[in-house]
């Protein structure tokens, strides 16, 4: 008698259905074998009802002209919170000086009252200076980066 | 006790709270708008966080940045001062949701006392005298006439959800009542989104007297006696004094005891004020301010207590270790609010850079301010730039001291109300103590 083989077609079908569904985790038990699968959940703003009416506008980068160089500008924090650097989207890499970022790409995010707010590139740019580290607290209007428009 | 407190305010009251915290060994966090980057409260605090643009709605009223500022600095409690978010129920709720202690009364108390009809019901229950009038909103003009006949003319028609004088009409007879009732309803609807109005007996020429209370939130409440705040302009107080010069001891004890019994009944937490109209020996409850008042200092001076420290200690769960017998009126205190306004030009607000600033001093003088030489007063906020408080063994000494204090004050760069106050100190109606809320229109 041969060993009981796992029905790979069945597993593939189940995984496909799981992928298409809104479920975020799955437990399978076949022939005494256990399988646990979890979906990656993308970071997105979580706004509870309590705070909804307090949020006036999101992602309104503040841009101040740098005194040093004509082409350089500062991107400032538009809210108070804790800063995290993430670039490019869905990558473990952190934003670095010298990075080229396309308009609309995420450069980092600020967590304020448990809500995540992305800091997007306001135009195509090269990062000249980064003034903030991961997990640093930020205040309103604090310079996050000095960038050069390209 | 708290390790760190965030002060969600600006100007002199932010500094007042910072000072109390420092004396209690508590670290402080100031929040400031971009227009207040040179403000003294920012410099005196241990830490400071910029929370937004100059407009209050984008900074001192913008709850997410204030809560975030508390979170990133590790502040365990928020003192709201007065104005701004001090009576904002949404803010209290959000503080609770984020495990930040709001230094003030509970949400439930704030909600009950901000509802005028409910506050009146609570006052009646606590044997605090209220103005005779309708129980809540008046249905129609016929209902209004019946109530007016019962309480007697003149009556005042007020918006149930209003404030600031809007939607208010005085009717002296049935004809005027019929005429104004609908107008008041329409005004209430357009100003406050609700046409409900209520009717009260109108007191023609009252004094504005208020009682300072302090509660531990568990049912113990004390009074720090009363303040006379009748020198007002457009419902804005200009001069306050304690004790009220026309009350006798029996009247004083009676109204103060009633006020404290209301505070005890609702298990009031922290400092609060019951405001009354006073006319011909009778008190009528108007409302309760569930926060620290601008004029709290005069009560502190005559009662030798620190209300802000008590607010903080009570919020931290400490016992209210004083009893009513420990609080005695000693002497007399007067406060003048120094506003950056031009009294010669209908009290038009002024702004500018403070130059050649000399603040008064000497014994029994307290200056609560945030301005300094070279400081540019931003035009975005309240015009009050300083409070001059004096204490005297009696009222006469306090008045003379205030005259001396006002004469020592010098500032260039903007107009102030200091000279106006000096004239009031010489005014006979003021010095005899019998002034009412009509003092300004009748004397100046």
Burial (Cβ within 10 Å: 0-12, 13-18, ≥19) of residue B121: middle
Q: A137 and A64, same structural domain?
A: yes
Q: A64 and A20, same structural domain?
A: no
* CB within 8 Å: A80 and B72: yes
pLDDT reported for residue A40: 44
* CB within 8 Å: A142 and B50: yes
Distance in angstroms (rounded) separating the CA atoms of residues B106 and B86: 12
Interface test with B, best of A48, A56, A84, A113 (most B CBs within 10 A): A113
At residue A58 the predicted structure's pLDDT band, cuts being 50, 70 and 90, is very low
Question: From the list B34, B72, B97, which residue is nearest A137 (CB)?
Answer: B72
pLDDT reported for residue A57: 34
Q: Residues of A at the B interface (Cβ-Cβ below 8 Å)? A: 50-51, 54-56, 79-82, 112-113, 115, 137-142
Q: A118 and A92, same structural domain?
A: yes
**Would you say residue A22 lies in a domain?**
yes
Nearest residue in B to A114, CA atom: B68
Q: What is the ipTM of this complex?
A: 0.88
Residues of chain B with pLDDT under 50: none
Distance in angstroms (rounded) separating the CA atoms of residues B394 and B333: 8
**Would you say residue A89 lies in a domain?**
yes
Residue A89 pLDDT exceeds 60: no
The domain spanning residue A61 has which CATH number?
A: 2.40.50.100
Chain A residues whose CB is inside 8 A of the B97 CB are 50
Nearest residue in A to B73, CA atom: A137
**Would you say residue A3 lies in a domain?**
no
| Cis check: omega of the bond before B63, within 30 degrees of 0 | no
Q: A71 and A27, same structural domain?
A: no
pLDDT reported for residue A54: 31
A7-17 residue pLDDT tens: 677 777 777 77
**What is the number of other CB atoms lying within 10 angstroms of the CB of residue B140?**
10
DSSP state of B82: S
Contacts of B365 (CB under 8 A, 6+ apart): B388, B389, B390, B401, B405
Q: A54 and A112, same structural domain?
A: yes
pLDDT reported for residue A93: 73
Going by C-alpha positions, the residue among B7, B44, B8, B16 that lies closest to residue B384 is B16
Residue by residue, what is the 3-state secondary structure of A61-89?
Answer: CEEEECCCCCCEEEEECCCCEEEEECCCC
DSSP state of B374: T
Distance in angstroms (rounded) separating the CA atoms of residues B64 and B74: 15
Q: A94 and A31, same structural domain?
A: no
Q: Which two tokens stand for residue B207?
A: 């004094």
| Cis check: omega of the bond before B154, within 30 degrees of 0 | yes
Q: A22 and A87, same structural domain?
A: no
Bridge partners of residue B199, in order along the sequence: B157
**Would you say residue A1 lies in a domain?**
no
Q: Residues of B at the A interface (Cβ-Cβ below 8 Å)? A: 34, 49-52, 59, 62-69, 71-73, 90, 93-94, 97-98
Positive or negative torsion for Cα B22, B26, B29, B30: negative
B327-362 residue pLDDT tens: 999 999 999 999 999 999 999 999 999 999 999 999
| Cis check: omega of the bond before A122, within 30 degrees of 0 | no
pLDDT reported for residue A88: 55
Are B340 and B415 in contact by the 8 Å Cβ rule? The answer is: yes
Instruction: Note down the domain range covering A34.
Output: 8-38
Q: A122 and A94, same structural domain?
A: yes
Bridge partners of residue A82, in order along the sequence: A111, A137
Q: A27 and A71, same structural domain?
A: no
Q: A13 and A82, same structural domain?
A: no
Instruction: Over range A13-36, report the average pLDDT.
Output: 65
At residue A91 the predicted structure's pLDDT band, cuts being 50, 70 and 90, is low
Are B235 and B164 in contact by the 8 Å Cβ rule? The answer is: yes
What is the least distance, in Å, from the CA of A149 to any CA of chain B? 26
Go through A42-81 and write b for each residue having 16 or more CB atoms within 10 A of its CB, e for each that does not: eeeeebeeebeebbeeeeebbeeebeeeeebbbbbbbbbb
Question: From the list B59, B64, B71, which residue is nearest A51 (CB)?
Answer: B64
* CB within 8 Å: A55 and B64: yes
B357-390 residue pLDDT tens: 999 999 999 999 999 999 999 999 999 999 999 9
Go through B295-330 and write b for each residue having 16 or more CB atoms within 10 A of its CB, e for each that does not: bbbbbbbbbebbbbbbbbbbbbeeebeeeeeebebe
**Would you say residue A143 lies in a domain?**
yes
Q: A104 and A30, same structural domain?
A: no
* CB within 8 Å: A54 and B71: no
Going by C-alpha positions, the residue among B440, B383, B373, B436 that lies closest to residue B410 is B373
**What is the number of other CB atoms lying within 10 angstroms of the CB of residue A16?**
10
Residue A5 pLDDT exceeds 70: no
Chain B residues whose CB is inside 8 A of the A55 CB are 64
**Would you say residue A43 lies in a domain?**
no
Chain A residues whose CB is inside 8 A of the B29 CB are none
At residue A106 the predicted structure's pLDDT band, cuts being 50, 70 and 90, is confident
pLDDT reported for residue B163: 65
* CB within 8 Å: A50 and B97: yes
**Would you say residue A62 lies in a domain?**
yes
At residue A70 the predicted structure's pLDDT band, cuts being 50, 70 and 90, is low
| Domains (range + CATH), chain B | 4-103 (3.40.50.20), 132-201 (3.30.1490.20), 207-443 (3.30.470.20)
Q: A30 and A63, same structural domain?
A: no
Catalytic machinery residues of B: 291
Question: From the list B68, B94, B98, which residue is nearest A80 (CB)?
Answer: B68
What is the least distance, in Å, from the CA of B66 to any CA of chain A? 8
Beta pairing, strands B384-392 & B365-369: antiparallel
Beta strand residue intervals within chain A, DSSP E: 25-30, 33-38, 62-65, 72-76, 81-85, 100-101, 106-112, 115-120, 125-130, 137-138, 143-149
Question: How many structural domains is chain A composed of?
Answer: 2
Residue A64 pLDDT exceeds 80: no
Query: Which is more confident, B282 or A25?
Result: B282
């Amino acid at each position: 008698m041969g060993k009981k083989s796992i029905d790979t077609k069945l597993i593939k079908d189940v995984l496909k259905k799981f992928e298409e569904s809104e479920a975020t985790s799955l437990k399978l038990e076949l022939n005494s074998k256990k399988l646990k699968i979890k979906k990656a959940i993308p970071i997105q703003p979580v706004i509870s009802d309590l705070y909804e009416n307090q949020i006036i506008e999101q992602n309104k980068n503040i841009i101040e002209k740098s005194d040093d160089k004509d082409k350089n500008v500062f991107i400032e924090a538009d809210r108070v919170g804790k800063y995290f650097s993430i670039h490019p989207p869905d990558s473990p890499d952190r934003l670095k000086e010298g990075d080229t970022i396309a308009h609309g790409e995420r450069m980092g995010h600020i967590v304020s009252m448990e809500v995540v707010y992305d800091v997007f590139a306001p135009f195509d740019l090269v990062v000249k200076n980064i003034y903030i580290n991961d997990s640093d607290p930020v205040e309103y209007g604090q310079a996050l980066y000095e960038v050069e428009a390209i | 006790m708290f390790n760190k407190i965030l002060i969600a305010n600006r100007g002199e009251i932010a500094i007042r709270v910072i000072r109390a915290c420092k004396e209690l060994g508590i670290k402080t966090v100031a929040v400031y708008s971009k227009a207040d980057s040179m403000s003294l409260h920012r410099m005196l605090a241990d830490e400071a966080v910029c929370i937004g643009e100059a407009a209050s709605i984008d900074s001192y009223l913008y709850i997410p940045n204030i809560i975030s500022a508390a979170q990133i600095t590790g502040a365990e409690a928020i003192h709201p001062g007065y104005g701004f978010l001090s009576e904002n129920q949404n803010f209290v709720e959000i503080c609770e949701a984020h495990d930040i202690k709001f230094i003030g009364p509970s949400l439930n108390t704030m909600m009950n006392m901000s509802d005028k009809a409910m506050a009146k019901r609570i006052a009646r229950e606590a044997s605090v005298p209220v103005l005779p009038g309708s129980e809540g909103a008046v249905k129609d003009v016929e209902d209004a006439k019946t109530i007016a006949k019962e309480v007697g003319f003149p009556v005042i028609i007020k918006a149930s959800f209003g404030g600031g004088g809007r939607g208010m009409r005085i009717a002296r007879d049935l004809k005027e009542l019929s005429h104004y009732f609908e107008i008041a309803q329409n005004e209430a609807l357009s100003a406050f989104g609700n046409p409900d109005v209520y009717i009260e007996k109108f007191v023609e020429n009252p004094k504005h007297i208020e009682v300072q209370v302090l509660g531990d939130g568990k049912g113990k409440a004390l009074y720090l006696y009363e303040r006379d705040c009748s020198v007002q302009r457009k419902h804005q107080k200009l001069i306050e004094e304690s004790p009220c010069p026309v009350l006798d001891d029996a009247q004083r004890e009676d109204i103060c005891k009633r006020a404290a019994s209301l505070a005890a009944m609702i298990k009031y937490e922290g400092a609060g004020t019951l405001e009354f109209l006073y006319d011909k020996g009778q008190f009528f409850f108007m409302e309760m301010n569930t926060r620290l008042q601008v004029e709290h200092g005069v009560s502190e001076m005559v009662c030798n207590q620190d209300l802000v420290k008590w607010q903080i200690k009570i919020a931290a769960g400490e016992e209210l270790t004083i009893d009513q017998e420990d609080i005695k009126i000693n002497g007399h205190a007067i406060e003048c609010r120094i506003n950056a306004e031009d009294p010669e030009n209908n009290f038009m607000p002024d702004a500018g850079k403070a130059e050649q600033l000399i603040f008064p001093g000497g014994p029994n003088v307290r200056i609560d301010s945030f301005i300094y030489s070279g400081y540019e007063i931003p035009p975005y906020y309240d015009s009050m730039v300083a409070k001059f408080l004096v204490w005297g063994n009696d009222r006469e000494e306090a008045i003379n001291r205030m005259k001396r204090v006002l004469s020592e004050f010098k500032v260039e760069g903007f107009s102030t109300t200091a000279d106006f106050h000096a004239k009031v100190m010489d005014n006979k109606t003021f010095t005899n103590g019998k002034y009412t809320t009509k003092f300004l229109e009748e004397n100046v």
